[in-house]
Amino acid sequence: MSMPSEIRTHFWGAQRAFPISGNALDLAFTPQALLSEEIIPRNAQIGYALSPFYFIFQIMFPLNQRFFHSRVQLEFLTGCFEGLPRNCDRQLWDFAYAGANIDVALLPRHRADVTSLVEQVQQWASFASSVIPHPSGETMTAWWIGINDTSDTVSNSSITDINAFWEKEMTSYFKAVQQAFDNGLTTHLFLNVPPEDRAPGTLGNPTKVQTMKDHIALFNQVLANHIANFTSANPDATVMTFDANAWFNSVLDDPASFGFNNVTGFCTCADPAGFFWFNSGHPTERVHRLLAEAIEARLISASVSDRVVHRNIDAALLPRHHNETISLVEQVQQWASFASSVIPHPSGETMAAWWIGINDTGDTLSNSSITDFEAFWETEMTSYFKAVQLAFDNGLTTHLFLNVPPEDRAPGTLGNPTKVQTMKDHIALFNQVLANHIANFTSANPDATVMTFDANAWFNSVLDDPASFGFTNVTGFCTCADPAGFFWFNSGHPTERVHRLLAEAIEAQLVNASASEKVVKIS
């Protein structure tokens, strides 16, 4: 499976695939200049790019020996290698600039012409946002910055409190992100800083290795916090992350599995076969290609789950997250019309499981049109149980209902006390109204076998005593290949381990439920 071809990609940072007119000496450029700039093949030095998925990447590289005669991950990711960006199936608009940091008010420019991230976004907002289409749902902004920043702070004696410094940097960073969002870029992908402490140019100095490792770890943690805050403050944003640090480490820890035999030296040559590093601080083209594949896989996973998970009960009551998203009501109609006659569902051997409401409770937080939540949930439940009744009338007689878990305890909510309480209240009321309608459905359908599982109570039991379940972190998240110890995979979704434990809990209580009972409460 591959990413959809209709994607618009914006890239902000320090890596460019083709030249652009504006720079720090003069940010302005004309629409004609923007639309006539071409990607220069194998010349990732300075440049731009477009497509129906915006990538605003922040990639920081030193000034010399960047990626001449080499392709980099944003080109592999989009397949936009040369020519006019608008002619690519996945357009790539690259607003990065070689040598950039986040904010020149905090770290000096590498050259007089280098535009910082803050300036790049200002440049896009002022001169490009009205020229390049960026329809919501077809555009993704990808951000990757911090490599130059973390490197430049290693020997900067003027910085005495690195944590406070990163907080200042992130304030500038996310003001730029907010500006992009406010100008219509609603889907964002954030990458953290890879382990430059393992680059050949650093390895020979143990003190520098440790300092850089510490700076990167702290930068990435502060970044994660600000991503969570941005997500919480902008509920209409779609936010994804890619753990570049973990991915780089996974390759460097097991190079043979990825086709590398040298990860400590480098080969600045035409064919650096077997080498991970092209020079003292930059990986080879092969690394960029593999990185692009890993990012693409992550995007596909997020895209698929986004379409599947981001569903509400009734599109007539809450808007769809995407045009193609089908609501619960439509799902049951779809099953009844096209699947019920095809898929056998013998009574006594078939169970319909229902778990919905997470998106509904989340989407109502900033919905000012809802003034009476009890009445709103009653309206939602009427739609919900019309769908349940349709399923029952078409032969599904055994039903399992799960209520809404405590999303008020998710990382994307925790940073906002008001939001925490509001979401907690919404979930509690939703779950109460759900319980009432389950009871009504059971009473109205005496031939139905009805069971419930209190997902809210189960989640709270784990979050209250995480060590007993093998978790060490229940307030942060790790969107990575191996989020060991983490309860949350991202700002609002639990890890695979949580799902496995949840399945075991449901199964155990289903097994223990008395087959003779028509109504069994599992909690």
pLDDT tens for 111-158 read: 887 889 998 898 888 877 777 777 777 778 888 899 999 999 998 999
CATH number of 310-522, picked from 3.40.640.10, 3.20.20.10, 3.40.50.1110, 3.40.47.10: 3.40.50.1110
pLDDT at 296 over 70: yes
Q: Which residues pair with 97 in a beta bridge?
A: 46
Give me the residue spans of the domains in the chain.
7-247, 310-522
- CA-to-CA distance for 193 and 241, rounded, in angstroms? 12
More confident residue, 280 or 323: 280
H or E element that contains 486: strand 486-488
| 54-58, 113-117, 177-181: range with highest mean pLDDT | 177-181
- CA-to-CA distance for 479 and 484, rounded, in angstroms? 11
H or E element that contains 449: strand 449-453
Q: How far apart are the first and last CA of the chain?
A: 39
Q: What is the DSSP string of 375-423?
A: HHHHHHHHHHHHHHHHHHHTT--EEEEE----GGGSHHHHT-HHHHHHH
Q: How confident is the model at residue 99 (pLDDT cuts 50, 70, 90)?
A: confident
pLDDT at 3: 41
**Could you tell me if 75 and 296 are in contact, meaning their C-beta atoms sit under 8 angstroms apart?**
no
Q: Which of 37-51, 83-97, 483-497 has the lowest mean pLDDT?
A: 37-51
Average pLDDT over residues 233-247: 88
pLDDT at 291 over 80: yes
Q: Per-residue pLDDT tens for 17-44?
A: 334 445 444 445 555 655 556 554 444 4
Average pLDDT over residues 331-352: 92
pLDDT at 196 over 50: yes
- CA-to-CA distance for 421 and 419, rounded, in angstroms? 6
Sequence-distant (6+) residues with CB within 8 A of 495 are 478, 483, 486, 487, 488, 489
Average pLDDT over residues 380-400: 97
- CA-to-CA distance for 57 and 10, rounded, in angstroms? 7
- CA-to-CA distance for 399 and 451, rounded, in angstroms? 6
CA of 411: how far to CAs of 72, 208, 217, 488, in Å?
33, 33, 19, 8
Chain mean pLDDT for the chain = 81
More confident residue, 285 or 38: 285
- CA-to-CA distance for 196 and 522, rounded, in angstroms? 50
More confident residue, 92 or 179: 179
With tokens 């229940």, the residue in question is: 474
Sequence-distant (6+) residues with CB within 8 A of 277 are 199, 200, 262, 263, 265, 266, 267, 283, 284
CA of 466: how far to CAs of 30, 458, 470, 487, in Å?
56, 12, 6, 8
Q: How confident is the model at residue 8 (pLDDT cuts 50, 70, 90)?
A: very low
pLDDT at 4: 38
Of 292, 276, 279, 241, residue with least CA distance to 73: 292
More confident residue, 374 or 72: 374
Reading the block at residue 476, the tokens are 């942060």
**Could you tell me if 403 and 434 are in contact, meaning their C-beta atoms sit under 8 angstroms apart?**
yes
H or E element that contains 150: helix 147-153
C-alpha of 322 from chain center: 16
pLDDT at 449 over 60: yes
Of 246, 217, 287, 299, residue with least CA distance to 481: 246
Q: Which of 76-85, 288-297, 412-421, 441-450 has the lowest mean pLDDT?
A: 76-85
- CA-to-CA distance for 159 and 438, rounded, in angstroms? 60
Q: Considering the entire predicted model, what is its pTM?
A: 0.57
Reading the block at residue 470, the tokens are 């093998």
Q: Of all residues in the chain, what percent carry a pLDDT higher than 90?
A: 50
pLDDT at 518 over 90: no
Q: Which of 77-81, 169-173, 208-212, 331-335 has the lowest mean pLDDT?
A: 77-81
pLDDT at 423: 94
CA of 67: how far to CAs of 61, 72, 254, 518, in Å?
9, 8, 24, 68
pLDDT at 200: 96
pLDDT at 465 over 50: yes
pLDDT at 102: 94
Q: What angle do CA 315, 317, 318 make, to 5 degrees?
A: 65
Q: Per-residue pLDDT tens for 414-446?
A: 878 888 999 999 999 999 999 999 999 999 999
pLDDT at 15: 45
pLDDT at 82: 56
